[in-house]
Amino acid sequence: MIKGVIFDLDGVLVSTDELHFKAWTKLASELNINNYTKEDNKAQKGISRLESLEIVLRKGSLTYQEKEKQELAERKNNYYVEMLDSLDESAVLEDVKEALAILKSKGIKIGVGSASKNTPIILDKTGLAPEIDAVACGIDVTKSKPDPEVFLIAAKKLGLLPKECLVVEDSYAGVVAAKAAGMKSLAVGPERKLLEADYDSETLLSETDWEAMLKIS
């Protein structure tokens, strides 16, 4: 039986993709990289900040030392955090609040497993923080998805075994991480049928759907 559901953050609970794209575009422009696109932004989904930076830097011709890369990644994050000032409950995706309410009513623990170090800020600004029982994010981990570390930490914080958890993801790296953690996976979002998850759904499911999902073992 499933006793806990662990959600990815961006693209699953909230939408901050456009803010990430704007922040990376600003950094790329400063580095004279003018061919960074939304397709590149999609490739950054679910991976760490430094891995995302590498996707940007590959579009240019210069090489950077590790310390310089750390500084560039921090600069991008500063741009992103500044943009988060405008974030509010409108960033919460459709059906999310209803889904969380359904899970709460059934005594299911709710976790978040995200590569973003800004996860606590985002949950607070969007009003979702009170609904979440445990958060594992970039602050807690040393390895990014597809490594299962973030989901295993989330399960531990929830006080559950991996086999008792279901992961909701919108990225291939996230689904691979869920499987590596020994957890069932549910894919959402426009590319859900390509993610090879155990289950897929266009939305975050009706009450009847959740009832069926939570009985899986």
Catalytic residues: 8, 10
In 3D space, the residue among 180, 156, 161, 158 whose CA is nearest the CA of residue 169 turns out to be 180
- Give the span between the Cα atoms of 80 and 21, in whole angstroms: 9
Helix residue ranges per DSSP H, the chain: 17-30, 38-43, 49-57, 66-83, 96-105, 119-125, 149-158, 172-180, 207-213
What is the Rg, in whole angstroms, of the alpha carbon atoms belonging to the chain?
17
Q: Please give the helix or strand (H or E) that residue 185 lies within, else none.
A: strand 184-187
Phi-psi region of 159 (alpha: psi -120 to 50; beta: other; left: phi over 0): left
Residues 6, 155: contact at Cβ < 8 Å?
A: yes
